[in-house]
Structure 1
Amino acid sequence: MADEHDAARLTAWVHGMVQGVGFRWWTRSRALELGLVGSATNLADGRVQVVVEGRKDNCERLLTALRSPGSPGRVDHVAELWSPPRGGLHGFVER
């Protein structure tokens, strides 16, 4: 993972039509391309929660991708929360 000076944890809640359209798989692919670890989880209210850790610039790139018109489905809004990395994440899991 990134060194402690440029590492970050991003939690993003993606609102819109993002379940049942391949959004989690697409997010996993983008995250792995950027060297990020974490998960994408369907929430009961229809949102997808994305949690990633890695280099902050790569987390920012993923956030841009989540908001882009190229993502599957329809993204209406992405809420974000930045925090220090906690570690302990390996690979990328779709839930």
Structure 2
Amino acid sequence: MHGLVQGVYFRHFTLQEARRLRVAGWVANQPDGSVRVVAEGDEAALRRLLDFLHHGPTGARVETVQSVWSAASGNFAEFRVRYL
């Protein structure tokens, strides 16, 4: 996600939503000021998470969301905040 997405609790809100949806993966701030999310789970849950990411928490201003769909790796047991 690009826009005003760092410093507005975006990672924390994404973590809560992903866990509520029972999606596994991670969310991390990127050096360029964006936020990256890698998620695996039920397609319907992933689409709901993607909808959430277009809006984010109060205070965020999401300008663009780029999504790439691929086969699940099965490498994630839970959703967490990742620190790069």
TM-score, structure 2 normalization: 0.91
Residue equivalent to 1:30? 17
1:71 corresponds to which residue? 57
Percent of aligned pairs sharing the same letter: 41
2:44 aligns to what?
57
Residue 71 of structure 1, CA deviation:
2.5
Instruction: Report how many residues are paired.
Output: 81
Deviation at 1:83, TM superposition (A): 0.3
Render the CA deviation track for 1:30-51: whole Å, top value 9, x for unaligned.
1001010110011000000000
- Provide the aligned C-alpha RMSD in A: 1.1
Structure ranking higher in strand proportion: 1
Runs (4+) off by over 4 Å: none
* SS of structure 2 residue aligned to 1:81: coil
Q: Which runs of 5 or more structure 2 residues have no equivalent in the other structure?
A: none
